[in-house]
Amino acid sequence: MEIQTIGVVGAGQMGNGIAHVMALAGYDVLMSDISQEALDKAVATVDKNLERQVSRDRISQAEKDAAMARIRTTMTLTDLGPTDLIIEAATERETVKQAIFEDLQPHLKPHTILTSNTSSISITRLASRTDRPEKFMGFHFMNPVPVMQLVELIRGIATDEATYKACLAVVERIGKTAASAEDFPAFIVNRILMPMINEAVYTLYEGVGNVRSIDQSMKLGANHPMGPLELADFIGLDTCLAIMNVLHDGLADTKYRPCPLLTKYVEAGWLGRKTKRGFYDYRGDEPVPTR
């Protein structure tokens, strides 16, 4: 089956990035959200990011204009029903995702493939609540979507080969690389990345180093482009904690126990860049470590 139309659920940071790369690759995109303000902001963000690509000679003005013309928005979720592929990029809460797929189900075409951009929730479990578990898989983009080259494709226990191949063709058409992952907690990237971030928080919690020394050590000592605490702020500390809880609950291994300091920051509402405070304070001209 050749995919031509793509529905994107959620107009946040991930949703607008997915819409951007899909429209640029020639797909017709319909993006939905419960907020018109979020949809307007998403379209403006895509426009700004495409303009940046034009200014750097990555794409032409005509390619940008064509991509923008392929993006439509709606506040009515069920409008996405007739699309060939739906990518859900809503809040990382299982109940929210289940409700979205439940609402979409009566309006889908028989061939429509359902996917989730979840970073850690069981694909098999999400698929089992739909009428098409064989046409359901994980389609996990990295943030920021237009820049990051990897997409994790996660098969649930029931995902069929045709669905996998159709999604793989999409990844190739948008010029990214697919990593095939099995459906176990946090898949590949976050299974490896989040415990490293959690260990960096433990290193801070136990007083082995401060925020600056921990980040400098990993940037200069391991050649990481961002330190782990800086990266945690970029991802969102609530997201980091949620993924650590998925790992801890799903694998029942104490090595995945979330650091109490990470929990404390989330309880304080210090979630990183999006709230202007996390392991760094972003309210001034330069980020300042908070401990």
Q: Where are the domains of the chain?
A: 5-182, 190-289
Q: Are strands 150-155 and 136-141 parallel, antiparallel or unpaired?
A: antiparallel
Is 33 one of the annotated binding-site residues? yes
Is 67 one of the annotated binding-site residues? no
DSSP H or E segment with residue 86: strand 85-88
- Local structure of 99: helix, strand or coil: helix
Amino acid at 40: D
Q: In whole angstroms, give the CA distance from residue 195 to residue 191.
A: 7
pLDDT value for 2: 87
Is 236 one of the annotated binding-site residues? no
Is 143 one of the annotated binding-site residues? yes
pLDDT value for 140: 97
Residues marked active site are found at: 119, 140, 152, 190
DSSP 257: P
Is 119 one of the annotated binding-site residues? yes
Of 256, 106, 271, 132, nearest in space to 196 by CA: 256
Question: Check: CATH 1.10.1040.10 for 190-289?
Answer: yes
Of 70, 88, 90, nearest in space to 30 by CA: 70
Is 92 one of the annotated binding-site residues? yes
Structure tokens given for 107: 């309006």
DSSP H or E segment with residue 180: strand 177-182
pLDDT value for 192: 97
pLDDT tens, residue order, the chain (291 aa) = 789 999 999 999 999 999 999 999 999 999 999 999 999 999 999 999 999 999 999 999 999 999 999 999 999 999 999 999 999 999 888 999 999 999 999 999 999 999 999 988 999 999 999 999 999 999 999 989 999 999 999 999 999 999 999 999 999 999 999 999 999 999 999 999 999 999 999 999 999 999 999 999 999 999 999 999 999 999 999 999 999 999 999 999 999 999 999 999 999 999 999 999 999 999 999 999 999
Is 182 one of the annotated binding-site residues? no
pLDDT value for 127: 97
CATH number of the structural domain 5-182: 3.40.50.720
